[in-house]
Amino acid sequence: MLRIGIIGTGGIADAHISGYLAFPDQCEIVALADVMPGKAAAKAEAFGLAGAQAFDDPLAMIAEAGLDLVSVATPPSTHAALAIGALDAGVNVLVEKPMAPSLEECDAMLAAQERSGKLLSVVAQNRFRDDLATLKAVVDSGLLGSISHVRVDSAWWRGLPYYDLWWRGTWEKEGGGCTLNHAIHHIDLLLWLLGSPTEITAMLANAQHDNAEVEDLSVAVFRYERGLAQLTSSVVHHGEEQEIVIQGANARVSQPWKVVAERSRADGFPAEGGDADLVARIEALVAERAPLSHLGHEGQIGDLLAAIRDGRAPVAGGRDGRDAVEVVTAIYKAGFEREIVALPLAASDPYYRAGQLVAHAPHFFEKTASLAEAAS
């Protein structure tokens, strides 16, 4: 039975707690910690965790609670120190996205994982969705042919009060705006589906949130061998209509689900009816796929528990989290400097180091409120 601790008891901690509670035969939540006095105890009571000990000092929890695995569900600027502290204490770690605000911090976390021999997993819960696992299966099948273009809409909407919470809306504490903290999910999916691009360029804006330093909208273009991908990151899109559209040489697939395959006439124009046989083969592949037994955070936690038990790497590891942060960093560098950025970023690049993003980032507006707790 693995002993679980959770650091940070804000809203996202609920997904972690529920995820662990789905595996009562494999783990037990024995401790929660939050730097806000009394908050950890209140969360334990809310979930009926009568046997869980509450701490106001996360490092004390790591030192005293005898943990096997800890979830780090705190603001991004704290991830590296907490994850490294846990790994160096011999505790496996699941850290919320984004892994850390800088590549330097990500690499320090990976170094801690290496010397500890423990597992480090970064939350990428959308890999544990049936609709997106379906896209992955189709891409991996080769039926699409070479990839021509991918369009990713990471479309969210948040009102002005969203940035009133003390750590949001600042480059120093949040690490960035919607590109880092919302589109990180879709960036991870893009890397999962296609691998890393070779070049990135981008433009950033703050279109609607004049109480935040950070961007609320960005549009980036990625180069992949012969093809391109484009990513819109947003918290200004009404309806939050998110979409991934993958155009291959042979067919297009997308989520929400749609499959289309054109067939050429002698003159190069699309033939009526398209390639019905290829569409049927893709649909058959999708129909044969076994559904995931656990979804979202619960699915990722189940995979991590199994990885610890089986001595294997998790589906979403520390390197995956680092690769997503590298793409975000390249988007910010491209937008700030108005240039095309080549990947991978070298350790000598100023944007690699902690604090450099804050030093180079524009303040679109200044933060106008700083609430200890989000209004309900």
* pLDDT, position 272: 96
Report d(CA 170, CA 270) in Å as an integer.
Answer: 50
3-state SS, residue 165: strand
- Report whether 113 contacts 310 (CB < 8 A): no
Q: Are residues 151 and 39 in the same domain?
A: no
pLDDT at position 167, please?
87
**Statement to judge: residues 57 and 176 lie in one domain:** no
Q: Is residue 372 part of a domain?
A: no
Residues 84 and 216 in one domain: no
Say how far apart CA 3 and CA 67 lie, in whole Å: 5
Same-domain pairing of 199 and 278: yes
DSSP-derived 3-state class of residue 220: strand
According to the model, what pLDDT value does residue 251 have?
98
Q: How many domains does the chain contain in total? A: 2
Q: Which helix (H) or strand (E) holds 342?
A: strand 341-342
> pLDDT digit of tens for each residue in the chain (376 aa)?
999 999 999 999 999 999 999 999 999 999 999 999 999 999 999 999 999 999 999 999 999 999 999 999 999 889 999 999 999 999 999 999 999 989 999 999 999 999 999 999 999 999 999 999 999 999 999 999 999 999 999 999 999 999 999 989 999 888 899 999 899 999 999 999 999 999 999 999 999 999 999 999 999 999 998 999 999 999 999 999 999 999 999 999 999 999 999 999 999 999 999 999 999 999 999 999 999 999 999 999 999 999 999 999 999 999 999 999 999 999 999 999 999 999 999 999 999 998 888 899 999 999 998 898 777 6
Of 206, 186, 205, 198, residue with least CA distance to 340: 198
CA atoms 162, 164, 166, 171: torsion sign: positive
List the CATH number of the domain containing 114.
Answer: 3.40.50.720
Q: Do 215 and 189 have their domain in common?
A: yes
Query: Are 180 and 272 contained in the same domain?
Result: yes
Same domain, 243 and 307: no
Whole-Å CA distances, 292 to 53, 73, 97, 313: 33, 24, 22, 19
Tell me if 368 is assigned to some domain: no
Assigned domain for 181 exists? yes
Question: Left, alpha or beta for 19 (phi > 0: left; psi -120 to 50: alpha)?
Answer: alpha
CA distance 320 to 121: 9
Does one domain contain both 119 and 184?
no
Is 159 within a domain? Answer: yes
Side by side, the strands of the sheet bearing 258-260 are 258-260, 252-255, 243-248, 147-155, 227-234, 217-224, 199-205, 341-342
Lookup: tokens for 77: 């600027």
Total length of the chain: 376
pLDDT for res 173: 86
Instruction: Establish if 375 belongs to a structural domain.
Output: no
Give the tokens for residue 61: 């929890």
Residue 231's SS3 state is strand
The answer to whether residues 46 and 29 belong to one domain is: yes
Quick one: which of 22, 17, 21 has its CA closest to 6?
Answer: 17
List, in order, residues 6 or more apart from 293 with CB less than 8 Å away: 299, 302
Within a domain: 369: no
User: What is d(CA 207, CA 364) in angstroms, rounded to the nearest whole number?
Assistant: 9
Interatomic CA distance for residues 306 and 313, integer angstroms: 10
Contact 211, 363 (CB under 8 A): no
The alpha carbon of 240 is separated from its chain's Cα centroid by a whole number of angstroms, namely 17
15 and 55 together in one domain: yes
- Is residue 374 a part of any domain in this protein? no
Torsion region of 3: left, alpha or beta (phi above 0 gives left; psi -120 to 50 gives alpha): beta
CA atoms within 13 Å, Cβ hemisphere of 334: 23
Asked if residue 255 and residue 224 are part of one domain, the reply reads yes
Answer for the pair 175, 355: CB distance below 8 angstroms, yes or no: no
Tell me which residue range forms the domain holding 55. Answer: 2-124+296-316
Distance CA 98, CA 322 (A): 9
Residue-level pLDDT at 282: 98
Q: How far apart are CA 242 and CA 139, in angstroms?
A: 19
In a domain? residue 6: yes
- Residues 331, 311, single domain; the answer is no
In terms of Cβ atoms closer than 10 Å to its own Cβ (0-12, 13-18, 19+), residue 9 is buried
Residue 237 belongs to domain with CATH number: 3.30.360.10
